[in-house]
Amino acid sequence: MTRFRYLTAGESHGKALSTIIEGVPAGLPLDEEYIATELRRRQGGYGRGSRMKIEQDRAEILSGVRYGLTIGSPIALLIKNRDWENWKEVMNTSVVVEEAGPVTHLRPGHADLAGTIKYGFKDVRPILERASARETAARVAVGAVARRLLEEFDIVVHSHTVAIGKQSIIPLNPPKSPFLIPLSPPLEKGDLGRFPIDWQQVENSPVRCANAEVESAMIKEIDAARAAGDSIGGVFEVIATGVPVGLGSHVHWDRRLDGRIAQAMMSINAVKGVEIGDGFAVASLPGSQSHDVIEPVFRNAYAGATKEESPYPWRHITNHAGGIEGGISNGEPIVVKAAVKPIPTLANPLPSIDLITGEPMQAHVERSDVCVVPAAGVIGEAMLAIVLADVLLEKFGGDSLGEMKENYRAYMESITTRMKRG
């Protein structure tokens, strides 16, 4: 069974980040500029720290591509850290005569305490360097390769910021809980689940928000946190359209698509909660108001329908399930929300203890962001693209892109044929 697999390596202030990707079929158009576009999107967003002005991320393709096309072998990517020049002594990979001063002031909410105890260090530096969200630059590069594959099958992935602090694009109605967001209205053409989204407006927004009024309020929340030496979190939503019915499976726990997506999203630094569709909201409703009614698309109309209107002889009139039922994609847009906690490094640090002495003191302060929610949405896109590329290869995988497309076409045609026979 063909799988989309990858590993990343590298530390925040080390020489570089690297990744090896396996499973990409031969014949996929891919170049460095395409990947660089996604890396630039990750570096944007109001509330980012000064390092984004230092790093201009670009992934160098070391292997797996020839003349702009993948060749079926592992793809190796390298992202150099420009800030390495300032950290050569601290992050030297060779034996040194004198080590840099250790970091021993623990930060609440970071991997500092748990990591140093687990790995037996007396210095937090080895933990914070790998636990840093800098590693997600490599994942966004991997996600760009996955996205390039998805595009060949008309699958598109977007994200937008739902909330920063108390400012939300989706009003709570009623505000019983911060997790309860109103259910999706019926899906109309061009409506992706809750309200029409202008994706160009999202891309132009400094906080990746689809509503200009809420955008201004979000910026004020970030400014207030910065002025207080604090940080602030929020919620982002990722939506994938064009996903065919039948990806994932109900037969084993680790093959369920929603489970795989949830794990991928939870792996993003600072993400503490994941919701598929209207997951938390439907928990308080009866089944009659929670499930997505299926209606037919009349065959005579379907015969001449465009793919945008309906690729199948049926449709769901709502999308509370977020495009997944029984662990399998059901043909509707896949909708995922993730809650991002405020980052743990604060300019006005919290009380903590020293790793070695146990004495009370202020937490360590490392150069950091105030708000990462907009950037986290871009990382969420990458992780969803990676999962979807993986399950797409499981279902239609071949050694070449042409073979994979033939498998896809045969499957899609079989759906219509089976329905006509019925």
Rounded to a whole number of angstroms, the CA Rg of the chain reads 23
Task: Name the residue with tokens 């019925």.
Answer: 422
- Which residues of the chain, if any, have pLDDT below 70? 1, 48-55, 171-195, 298-310, 419-422
- Write down the architecture of domain 104-421 according to CATH: 4-Layer Sandwich (3.60)
H or E segment at 125?
helix 125-131
- 197 vs 190: CA distance, rounded Å: 9
- Domain layout of the chain by residue ranges: 104-421
State the pLDDT at residue 192: 36
What pLDDT is recorded for position 177? 37
What CA–CA distance (Å, rounded) separates 140 from 379?
6
Each residue's pLDDT tens digit, 62-111: 999 999 999 999 999 999 999 888 898 899 888 888 888 899 999 999 99
Q: How far apart are CA 382 and CA 57, in angstroms?
A: 16
pLDDT tens column, 1-48: 679 999 999 999 999 999 999 999 999 999 999 999 999 999 988 876
Cβ atoms within 10 Å, residue 359: 8
pLDDT of residue 50: 57
pLDDT at 147: 98
Distance, in Å, from the CA atom of 208 to the CA atom of 199, rounded to the nearest integer, reads 9
Q: Output the pLDDT for position 303.
A: 43
DSSP for 1-53? ----EEEEE--TTSSEEEEEEE-PPBT-B--HHHHHHHHHHHH-STT--THHH
What is d(CA 81, CA 132) in angstroms, rounded to the nearest whole number?
13
Q: Is the dihedral of CA 192, 198, 204, 208 positive or negative?
A: negative
Residue 343's closest CA among 158, 144, 139, 136?
Answer: 136
pLDDT for residue 55 = 63
> What are the counts of helices (DSSP H) followed by strands (DSSP E) for the chain?
12, 17
